[in-house]
Amino acid sequence: MRILGYYAFAFLQAPVASEPAEGFGDLFGLIARQSLVGHLVLATLLAFSVVSWAIILFKLWQFRQVDAQTSTFVAIFRKSRKFSEVQSVCKSLAASPLAGVFQAGYVELNSQLRDTGNPRNDPLPGGAPRPSLRSFEALDRSLLRASNVEVNKLERHVAVLATTASITPFIGLFGTVVGIIIAFQDIGATGSTNLAVVAPGIAEALIATAAGLFAAIPAVYFYNHLMHRVKITATTIDDFSLEFLNIAERYFAG
């Protein structure tokens, strides 16, 4: 208890710290005092952050449209008795990748049935017998090609998030290293190692690292999230392609 009393007495007798230096601890003040290289680094990181957030918001909106229209398209596809009925709604559900895949398969079916002399030029399941397809492999390739196109659309711009996540921490680190070099040069010029002289320069240098992490962390999270959404949608596309092939084989096999 006596030792604790000594510490308490010493703490109470310690002089009250003076007001902190003007602007020190103020984030905007630290940014304003950056060197030219520091301002360039922060501007670059800000540009990466703005672009990545624009892509994130756009892709989230796009996937919301994809999910909604895909559910509608699948319901229409499974209720319709004719492919032509499904074809008529594809334009209104263009955000769904299944619409693009269906149109590619529908065009290939039309082409093959037209060449085999289908008088109605209407590849519809059910009803009167239809001429058989010449090549289910060609139909499969058409669906696969369309699937790749749709997946590429979903992945468009997502790679920018991966680039942002990987490069911005290094840009921020570069700005910090340059800032520390400048801080040590100032220490050498003043000849003082007082904390009041050293701390502001180090704090200004660390702003770049913080800005790099601020740009990178959301990019990492949403890149993984969006790629997971792409994977799920790609699986849905593959399942739909198999379902389309099964229907085509059921009604148009020789």
Instruction: Quote the CA–CA distance of 75 and 211 in Å, as a whole number.
Output: 47
Torsion region of 191: left, alpha or beta (phi above 0 gives left; psi -120 to 50 gives alpha): left
Q: Are 113 and 106 in contact (CB under 8 A)?
A: no
- Return the SS3 of 132: coil
Counting runs of H as helices and runs of E as strands, what totals does the chain give?
8, 0
Torsion region of 136: left, alpha or beta (phi above 0 gives left; psi -120 to 50 gives alpha): alpha
Instruction: Quote the CA–CA distance of 143 and 1 in Å, as a whole number.
Output: 82
Residue 15 has pLDDT above 80, yes or no: no
pLDDT of residue 4: 35
User: Can you read off the two tokens belonging to residue 238?
Assistant: 């593959």
Instruction: Quote the CA–CA distance of 218 and 207 in Å, as a whole number.
Output: 18
Q: Which of 20-34, 41-55, 223-237 is predicted with the least confidence, judged by mean pLDDT?
A: 20-34
Instruction: Quote the CA–CA distance of 97 and 149 in Å, as a whole number.
Output: 9
190-231 tens-digit pLDDT: 766 666 666 767 777 788 888 999 999 999 999 999 999 999
User: Can you read off the two tokens belonging to residue 223?
Assistant: 């890149």
Give percent of the chain above pLDDT 90: 46
Instruction: Quote the CA–CA distance of 254 and 116 in Å, as a whole number.
Output: 12
